[in-house]
């Protein structure tokens, strides 16, 4: 396991008693023994060294110590310094769960569900019944991937309510038709604190959606001839951008 995510109730104390679910995960799934050492990440992003001191009926006890500079260097190494935000047209069921899980694994800072003209779920019908489920998915994905980025899932908004692109940001929307004006390398050829990505629903983006995004400062990127499912498109787009960020010095020098 790359890391263990401490519960939201953690207050910086020297020990924490884990609930039944986390205890089961450590003892029966990962088969962690008393005395085992874990890299632990708190909800505020701080990194701790955890040692399993006891398994008991009431749960597992972790003794916690500040991890120090080595852990801080590791966390810094996992960060590109550029915040990636994924605006995703809201889709139904477990596919949205999958998008959130993959976004966490890819190091996306924020996922924003959005209503577009062809969205499967519209804001007037939306009931946010999944915050706890999504937090569990985020926690599982962070533990599995080892990412130091705590992905946030924001409340659903309409496409018209997306904020205009700022001067230290670039924003791209991924489209099913070749309407791009530049290559993705050209769009990302600069220094940005934030990169916003927009991925539409199964039915694609309408002309009204495109006009709205362009008015906000988003630039179009062509996904190619293959028709992708929404959850595939989200991962595909995020992976392209993250890889280009990581290799930026290489391709900018050519």
- List, for residues 103-153, the tens digit of each pLDDT value: 999 999 999 999 999 888 888 877 766 778 888 899 999 988 888 788 999
pLDDT at 30: 83
pLDDT at 44: 81
- In angstroms, the CA 236 to CA 174 distance is 10
pLDDT digits (tens, 9 = 90+) for 44-75: 888 899 999 999 888 999 999 988 644 444 44
Count of beta carbons in the 10 Å neighbourhood of residue 54: 13
Strand 219-222 to strand 37-41: parallel, antiparallel, or no bridges (unpaired)? unpaired
pLDDT at 185: 86
User: Average pLDDT of 237-252?
Assistant: 82
pLDDT at 129: 62
Domain ranges of the chain: 4-76, 78-252
Count of beta carbons in the 10 Å neighbourhood of residue 111: 23
Q: How far is CA 254 from CA 198, 219, 251, in A?
A: 28, 24, 5
What is the three-class DSSP state of 225? coil
pLDDT at 76: 44
User: Average pLDDT of 241-254?
Assistant: 75
Query: 188 — phi, psi (to 5°)?
Result: -95, 5
* 88 touches 49 (CB < 8 A): no
What percent of the chain lies above the pLDDT cut of 70? 91
Question: What is 78-252's CATH number, 3.40.1280.10, 3.30.420.10, 3.40.50.300, 3.40.50.1980?
Answer: 3.40.1280.10
What is the fold, at CATH topology level, of the domain defined by 4-76?
Ribosomal Protein L25; Chain P (2.40.240)
- In angstroms, the CA 124 to CA 161 distance is 15
> What count of Cα atoms within 13 Å lies in the side-chain half-sphere of residue 147?
21
Q: How far is CA 235 from CA 127, 171, 202, 229, 250, in A?
A: 25, 16, 14, 10, 23
Q: How far is CA 30 from CA 33, 90, 123, 200, in A?
A: 9, 34, 40, 38
Q: What is the C-alpha R_g of the chain?
A: 20
**Residue 80 pLDDT more than 60?**
no
| Whole-structure pTM value | 0.79
- In angstroms, the CA 139 to CA 151 distance is 9
User: Average pLDDT of 235-240?
Assistant: 91
Lowest mean pLDDT among 82-96, 116-130, 180-194, 199-213: 116-130
CA angle 222, 151, 223 (to 5 degrees): 10
């Amino acid at each position: 396991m790359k890391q263990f995510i401490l519960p939201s109730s953690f207050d910086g104390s020297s020990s924490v008693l884990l609930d039944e679910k986390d205890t089961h995960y450590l003892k029966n799934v990962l088969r962690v023994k008393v005395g085992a050492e874990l890299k632990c990440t708190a909800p505020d992003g701080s990194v701790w060294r955890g040692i399993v001191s006891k398994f008991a009926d009431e749960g597992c006890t972790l003794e916690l110590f500040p991890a120090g500079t080595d852990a801080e260097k590791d966390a810094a190494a996992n960060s590109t310094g550029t915040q990636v935000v994924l605006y995703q047209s809201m889709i139904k069921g477990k596919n949205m769960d999958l998008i959130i899980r993959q976004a966490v694994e890819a190091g996306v800072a924020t996922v924003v569900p959005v209503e577009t003209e062809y969205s499967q779920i519209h804001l007037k019908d939306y009931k946010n019944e999944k915050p706890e489920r999504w937090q569990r998915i985020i926690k599982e994905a962070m533990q599995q991937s080892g990412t130091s980025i705590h992905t946030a899932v924001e409340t659903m908004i309409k496409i018209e309510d997306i904020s205009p692109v700022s001067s230290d940001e670039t924003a791209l929307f991924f489209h099913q038709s070749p309407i791009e004006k530049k290559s993705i390398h050209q769009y990302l050829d600069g220094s940005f604190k934030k990169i916003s990505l927009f991925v539409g629903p199964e039915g694609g983006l309408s002309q009204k959606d495109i006009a709205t995004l362009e008015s906000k400062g988003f630039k179009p990127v062509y996904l190619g001839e293959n028709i992708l499912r929404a959850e595939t498109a989200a991962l595909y787009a995020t992976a392209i951008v993250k890889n280009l960020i990581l290799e930026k010095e290489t391709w900018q020098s050519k």
